[in-house]
Structure 1
Amino acid sequence: MNSKTYDAFTLQTDARGVTTVMLDVPDRPLNVLDASVMHELNDLVRDLHDSSSTAVVFTSSKESGFLAGADINAITKIASPIEAAQLIDGGQHLFDAIDWLPMPTIAVIHGPCLGGGLEWALACDYRIARDNSSTKIGLPEIKLGLIPGWGGTQRLPKRIGIRRALSMILQGSFLSASEAVKIGLIDRAIEPDCWDSGVSAFVDDVLECPKRARQISWPARLLRSIENSRIGRHLVLNAVRSRTRSKAEHYPAIDAAIRSVRAGFGLRPQGFMMERNEFIDLLATPTCRRLIDLFFAREAARSLRTWTGKPAVAYEKPIRKVGVIGAGAMGAGIGQLAGYRGFEVVIQEVNEEAAGAGRARVKSLIDKLAKRKGFREAERDKLLGQVRVVTDDDWLANADLVIEAVVERIDVKQQVFRALDRLTAPETILATNTSSLSVSEMAAATHRGHLVGGLHFFNPVHKMELVEVVRGKQTDDATIARLVGFTRALGKTPIVTSDSTGFLVNRVLFPYLGEAVLMIAEGYTAMELDRQVRRFGMPMGPCELIDQVGLDVALHVAKSLDGVLQGLSGVAKFLSRMVETGKLGKKSGAGFYRYKNGMKRGPAMLSRAFPKPLDRHDDRQSAAKFIKDGLTPIQRRLIYPMLVEAIRVKQEKVVQNDWAIDLAMVLGTGFAPHRGGPLQVINAIGQTTVLANLKLMQSIYGPRFSSPSLLDEMAKHNQLFQGVS
């Protein structure tokens, strides 16, 4: 057994007769299951069946983690249902072979254990995991428009119960080791300081007393038994189906997962066959193709080569010490996140009163994070000590990066940059969190324009994945590289944009929000607009989104974009009226809707802001003249402004890649992921159809619906917008 050699596996058998199988896929930063690895594992497991091993331990010798799942590139190359069936059958049979090994099998997990990695672990008798922040256990296939195909929908519900299993599968969520042990998914979470001895002790327990090794709490065991009973699973499955019905309209993988889990409680072959067939069907859906394209776009965005053309090693000065100017909502959020990610953080405020408020803000964010992550008190206190809020300037001399997060006024920001230029070391990078103001104008207040850039975080900082990294007129590649590296280290996805008004996301988003305001002024209700947009696939409608952002913030963006966007000058006027009447949105208790304790309570009275409605266009009467594009009249009027502005952003080269526009809008605004982004919507509808409908809309609503010249050219030559090549 030990004399055999493999490219991706190393085997060792100790004095106890325990065979340890270590995975290390060559030339990969993370272990993935590709065809060659699957072939070797198949041979290896066949030999283990005939071996005299007392137990088998599956682990990874890569410090990066256990297994990131199947090779997504291989999935995209599947050319037919027959090839898809071969892939699924091969994986199911392989993990069945592991399940049927005659000796105890143990999956030893650290780092990511995702997708096929967790399905492999579920085929083992026992699972243990390292209890630290890098351990992530989950089935993320739903994020690609797929379901687990190698037994995940069959084994997971039987292990942790249907409700928790479907929650993991349908959300694609990840669990920590401590979370996984509470629900019985893993048998033991081991502290990093005693990792090797802990693993060895667990194996001894398996050999000596298997019952002692399995530590599933009685509540978890009882809940699993109730849910997996005939009545229990009927109730749970129907409840989940009812709760996800509206979303399943756009994401067919939701119903496919529910059907596969349900089938898993019949005859065993039927459940696995259902999972196999559902996976094959999903692979051919447009939703799957678009979500996989977004996955590769995200990977491209996180690669330094995409933005500078050079590898990370070309820039050897990582950022370690971070300063933030301003401890408001954004500054505190940035500071808390940077501290959590291991950076030394100092936030500066103008006086002790503001600093005290900032400390309270940071503490509140850290307390919520600690509760969410299950931190111990010592871990929480350590993080609190990592983020200091001060009023002095002494710390500035040692900062690698200082991020300005003060009020959105160019004169105030220039004043801050002028002071930072004087107080910081000559090599310190200065960045602004502005959402729309000119980075180059701020850089002009310094003598280091090449070291000044933008880091536009989205609110709330800890939730929103996107960061716009803004290149000013003088910003050099080294600075962009370090800002991109910093963004990645925070766990965010960077999109590098040029320094144009509104950058990318606000520029594309605001025509849509502005059109909603104009429609409200014509007499439409917020509820009917929001309902139609949610049906399109957005997480919330435009009126609710403005309430979330704040009408005062929306008004500021409207004014800053006034010289860039056509036909929306009236939007600022209507927003000003609402702000003047105290309607700032959710934070003030009223905007387009009323709020109580942060919960939406119904539409707000808008008569003071809109005393005399504008002439309302009869969208239903003109609907017959439009070429069919799959949209309702309200959806068309709201969505087309985003499509138009996305084309203009490409035309003006705000970013260099089509896919970056789509990815930014999905990550920054929640633009319906199953549609792939605004440019992919145009591809799906057809350039000629969009162009013809725009011309009709321009004749009805005015010049703000005029078509960009690039769209005319693309329609003429039948060209498509490009994804990641």
Structure 2
Amino acid sequence: MITKPYRNFSVSTDYHGVVTVSIDVPDRPMNVLTAEVMSEFVTIVGDLERAIGVTAVVFRSEKESGFLAGADVAVIAGIKSPQEASELIQAGQRLFNRIESLPIPTIVAIHGPCLGGGLEWSLACDYRIARDNTSTKIGLPEIQLGLIPGWGGTQRLPRRIGLSRALPLILTGKHLNASAAIKVGLVDRAISPDHWDHGVAQFVDDVVAGRVTAGHSAPLWRRLLDGTRIGRALTVRMSKRAIRTKSKHYPALESAIGAASVACKPNYDGYGLEESEFLSLLFTPTCRNLLGLYFARERARKPSTWSRSAGTALHHEPIRKVGIVGAGAMGAGIGQLAATRGYDVMIKEIDDKSCRAGSARINTLIHDLATRKRWGSFERDLLRAKIQISTELSSLEDCDLVIEAVVERADAKANVFAQLDSVAKPTAILASNTSSLSITAMGDATHRSHHVAGLHFFNPVHRMELVEVIRGRDTDDETMARLVQFVKAMGKTPVVTTDTPGFLVNRVLFPYLGEAITMVGERHDTAEIDREIRRFGMPMGPLELLDQVGIDVAADVAESLRGVIENADPAINQLKRMVQHGMLGRKSGEGFYRYVDEKRQGATMMKNKSTENQSNSSVGMINDGLTPITRRLIYPMLIEAVRCHQQHVVSEAWAIDLAMVLGTGFAPHRGGPMKMIETIGLETVAENTRRLARIHGSRFSAACFEEAAIDQPGQTGDQPSIGMQPQI
């Protein structure tokens, strides 16, 4: 086989006639399919089509980071017209069809990410083998950007593993490791890292010798489900039922089902349907908003976004050992996550009883993680050994970072910081997991206020992606840079805020929660309030959320916001009354709802007997696409988001949107509160706010909309660097 030198590939042939095509896209941390890569790949496939004496083709990556992260989303986001998109989709489909038609066996050796276009390339080949470790991730994540696979993924995946297994993967964007992929028939062999090179060579020899047969044996019921028209129709019906409540906001779900359902129909152009569905989604508001959030997320995970000292911090003493004060729900969660990420963890508790309770809490977290990961006792014990618990303050003296996670009281936290300052080494960073209290005050209790900051993890720690990194009055750039890098290493997304009550997320969230509490006091239907907000796109309603978080916790956060949020006293007082009556939410069995064995039974508050209050909220409003209930609840968030932006709680509007989506589940398809203002129109939001103020009071002040223009998400600052672009 004669080839020329390539910029993104290397091609070699061994004496057995096996051609190895290795991809290594320069100046990228991960391989991605760019226009240049695709052009070179077309040439290589043309050579393979004409080659004589080739016994097999192996596609693999030269990068240790992984095989292929997919197409460059920057290219997809930059498409200007349906015609341009159609040309891109057809080019990819033609290329992968040509690979599928090669007359020689084709093998893909997968390690690390094999996502989106990477998996579509792999599905066009005869065989797939994968390295069996935690870094291997195989999947089609396009749905998370409001799109569907466009290069044959909706057609080849159902044919390869069956519609009943393919649809859940496409509809969720979930990725599989090698072991899970082999169980569903997506890969033909999982090879341990220790035997990777030898295992690949052995598999290739087996293919050339005819000792490997492509295919996967499924149980009879699965074959009936996937192999019969009735079975596939049942799968489609069940899938449509599963997405029923989400498809209005996320049209890609219906498109994915439609495209995948025809994959097994004879004489049907499924690739044409896949293309048309992709084109119908690309310019929808949902897709554009989800694309914007992905770019924002990658930008937030870039340390230089937040600190001028990002480069110099890399040369500072790395954080290796993490100390934690308090083994409650948050402290234990942070400790377990840090250990999972490779850090040594020392937790300090107040007494032996608290140590035992904290240890049991950590054991439960590790057991749950091991169950999810299907770990054996060796992996569990190895992780547990990285976490120690002690009552001695001196146990924290060699930690590089100490995170305080004690009771949410300013005096208690100041006392902890004073003690930590006396034992921690001079270079150690002291951080608080507070959700609302002053970081500056905690720094003032020490002689190292430049090394004191906030790290606000959200509960539950292992699920919530956002971490607010709070800069105190004296916190220096190097400390902030090291903490941002630590958050990224923990697998989380940082958003840097100034030290103001409630920081960003709780400050924007509380007016919304407070309005819900006020509405309950006016005898609005509790369940209807939550139901309307779920229809808006939130994962749960405001009153459900308060019960979940805990009324006492919400009351503490609300108290810290007194004086910052206008007219917050009625809601704060209501929360305090509920605490006094033992109505703490789900954990006490009663809050805004009653609970029996953790199951909700009904609302505790009286229901409104008329629609007077609801109807008043809609009189004379300009159409903004919201119902009276959602308008009254969401507008307080929009108002406070703008205030936070104007007061520089965060540096730019996109960070507010990202934080609210990641920290509260703010309807992702709407892009965040700042993006929502842009979508509705600033003048419409301002005028509706004035009209709400006339009905409900001055807390709906529109002054913030008149004081300054809003720089919209994605329109300020630099775009993420090429290497930080998300891929599909």
TM-score, structure 1 normalization: 0.96
State the partner residue of 1:286: 285
The code of the aligned residue for 2:68 comes to: L
Query: Is 1:687 aligned with 2:686?
Result: no
**Residue pairs, 1:654-669, within 5 angstroms:** 654-669=649-664
Instruction: Check conservation: 1:92, 1:150, Cα contact below 8 A.
Output: yes
Q: Which moved more, 1:84-93 or 1:49-58?
A: 49-58
- Pair 1:407–1:621, CA change in 2 (3 A): closer
1:29-49 deviation per Cα after TM superposition (whole angstroms, max 9, x unaligned): 110001000111111011112
Query: Is 1:226 aligned with 2:225?
Result: yes
Query: Is 1:677 aligned with 2:672?
Result: yes
1:414-438 deviation per Cα after TM superposition (whole angstroms, max 9, x unaligned): 1111011110100001100000000
Query: Is 1:645 aligned with 2:640?
Result: yes
Query: What displacement does 1:617 show?
Result: 6.0
Query: Is 1:277 aligned with 2:276?
Result: yes
State the partner residue of 1:295: 294
Instruction: Check conservation: 1:566, 1:704, Cα contact below 8 A.
Output: yes
Structure 1 gaps, min length 5: none
- Pair 1:91–1:3, CA change in 2 (3 A): closer
1:561-598 deviation per Cα after TM superposition (whole angstroms, max 9, x unaligned): 11110112011221122222222112222222233333
Secondary structure at the aligned position of 2:463 is classed as coil
Secondary structure at the aligned position of 1:554 is classed as helix
Instruction: Check conservation: 2:60, 2:110, Cα contact below 8 A.
Output: yes
Instruction: Check conservation: 2:348, 2:392, Cα contact below 8 A.
Output: yes
Query: What displacement does 1:135 show?
Result: 1.0
Instruction: Check conservation: 1:2, 1:12, Cα contact below 8 A.
Output: no
Q: How many positions carry a matched residue from both structures? A: 715
Secondary structure at the aligned position of 1:357 is classed as helix
Query: What displacement does 1:714 show?
Result: 3.1
**Residue pairs, 1:499-578, within 5 angstroms:** 499-578=499-578
Secondary structure at the aligned position of 1:494 is classed as strand
**Residue pairs, 1:267-416, within 5 angstroms:** 267=266, 270-309=269-308, 311-312=310-311, 314-317=313-316, 318-416=318-416
Q: 1:236, 1:677 → 2: CA distance?
A: 34
Q: 1:708, 1:66 → 2: CA distance?
A: 52
Instruction: Check conservation: 1:714, 1:720, Cα contact below 8 A.
Output: no
State the partner residue of 1:625: 620
State the partner residue of 1:122: 123
The code of the aligned residue for 2:582 comes to: G
- Pair 1:411–1:184, CA change in 2 (3 A): same
Q: 1:722, 1:207 → 2: CA distance?
A: 51
Q: 1:402, 1:723 → 2: CA distance?
A: 37
Query: What displacement does 1:712 show?
Result: 4.9
1:287-325 deviation per Cα after TM superposition (whole angstroms, max 9, x unaligned): 111100001000110011110135545532321111111
Query: Is 1:465 aligned with 2:460?
Result: no
1:43-66 deviation per Cα after TM superposition (whole angstroms, max 9, x unaligned): 101111222221111110001110
Query: What displacement does 1:265 show?
Result: 2.2
Secondary structure at the aligned position of 1:463 is classed as coil
- Pair 1:101–1:428, CA change in 2 (3 A): same
- Pair 1:316–1:92, CA change in 2 (3 A): same
The code of the aligned residue for 2:231 comes to: G
- Pair 1:33–1:663, CA change in 2 (3 A): same
**Residue pairs, 1:48-197, within 5 angstroms:** 48-51=48-51, 52-197=53-198
1:348-397 deviation per Cα after TM superposition (whole angstroms, max 9, x unaligned): 11111111111111111111111111112211111111112222234322
The code of the aligned residue for 1:623 comes to: S
Instruction: Check conservation: 1:161, 1:225, Cα contact below 8 A.
Output: no
Instruction: Check conservation: 1:522, 1:616, Cα contact below 8 A.
Output: no
Instruction: Check conservation: 1:648, 1:708, Cα contact below 8 A.
Output: no
Q: 1:279, 1:323 → 2: CA distance?
A: 48
- Pair 1:420–1:712, CA change in 2 (3 A): closer
Instruction: Check conservation: 2:523, 2:605, Cα contact below 8 A.
Output: no
1:591-636 deviation per Cα after TM superposition (whole angstroms, max 9, x unaligned): 2223333333x323236xx9xx999962314513111111111011
State the partner residue of 1:15: 15
Secondary structure at the aligned position of 1:245 is classed as coil
Q: 1:273, 1:405 → 2: CA distance?
A: 55
Instruction: Check conservation: 1:451, 1:479, Cα contact below 8 A.
Output: yes
Query: What displacement does 1:268 show?
Result: 5.4
The code of the aligned residue for 1:286 comes to: P
Q: 2:74, 2:309 → 1: CA distance?
A: 23
Instruction: Check conservation: 1:32, 1:69, Cα contact below 8 A.
Output: yes
Secondary structure at the aligned position of 1:668 is classed as helix
Query: Is 1:44 aligned with 2:44?
Result: yes
The code of the aligned residue for 1:67 comes to: L
Query: Is 1:448 aligned with 2:448?
Result: yes
Q: 2:162, 2:80 → 1: CA distance?
A: 35
State the partner residue of 2:603: 604
Q: 2:465, 2:163 → 1: CA distance?
A: 30
Q: 1:632, 1:310 → 2: CA distance?
A: 46
Q: Which moved more, 1:353-362 or 1:304-313?
A: 304-313
Query: What displacement does 1:133 show?
Result: 1.3
Q: 1:222, 1:488 → 2: CA distance?
A: 44
Q: 1:25, 1:186 → 2: CA distance?
A: 24
Q: 2:669, 2:110 → 1: CA distance?
A: 32
Q: Which moved more, 1:255-264 or 1:265-274?
A: 265-274
Q: 1:452, 1:314 → 2: CA distance?
A: 16
The code of the aligned residue for 2:382 comes to: K
Instruction: Check conservation: 1:162, 1:227, Cα contact below 8 A.
Output: yes
Secondary structure at the aligned position of 2:66 is classed as coil
Q: 1:596, 1:182 → 2: CA distance?
A: 39
- Pair 1:269–1:59, CA change in 2 (3 A): farther
Instruction: Check conservation: 1:522, 1:614, Cα contact below 8 A.
Output: no
Q: Which moved more, 1:322-331 or 1:373-382?
A: 373-382
1:519-558 deviation per Cα after TM superposition (whole angstroms, max 9, x unaligned): 0111012210011111111111111111111111111111
Aligned Cα root-mean-square deviation (Å): 1.8
Query: Is 1:203 aligned with 2:204?
Result: yes
Q: 1:268, 1:447 → 2: CA distance?
A: 76
The code of the aligned residue for 1:302 comes to: R
Query: What displacement does 1:218 show?
Result: 3.7
Query: Is 1:476 aligned with 2:476?
Result: yes
Instruction: Check conservation: 1:651, 1:710, Cα contact below 8 A.
Output: no
Q: 2:92, 2:699 → 1: CA distance?
A: 53
The code of the aligned residue for 2:396 comes to: L
Q: Which moved more, 1:525-534 or 1:154-163?
A: 154-163
Structure with the bigger RCO (C-alpha within 8 Å, sep 6+) is 2
State the partner residue of 1:423: 423
1:321-360 deviation per Cα after TM superposition (whole angstroms, max 9, x unaligned): 1111100000000000011111111111111111111111
- Pair 1:313–1:215, CA change in 2 (3 A): farther
The code of the aligned residue for 2:126 comes to: D
The code of the aligned residue for 2:333 comes to: G
Q: 2:118, 2:260 → 1: CA distance?
A: 19
1:7-39 deviation per Cα after TM superposition (whole angstroms, max 9, x unaligned): 100112223221111100011111000100011
TM-score, structure 2 normalization: 0.95
State the partner residue of 2:722: none
Instruction: Check conservation: 2:312, 2:478, Cα contact below 8 A.
Output: no
Query: What displacement does 1:488 show?
Result: 0.3
The code of the aligned residue for 2:165 comes to: R
Secondary structure at the aligned position of 2:709 is classed as helix
Q: 1:84, 1:132 → 2: CA distance?
A: 36
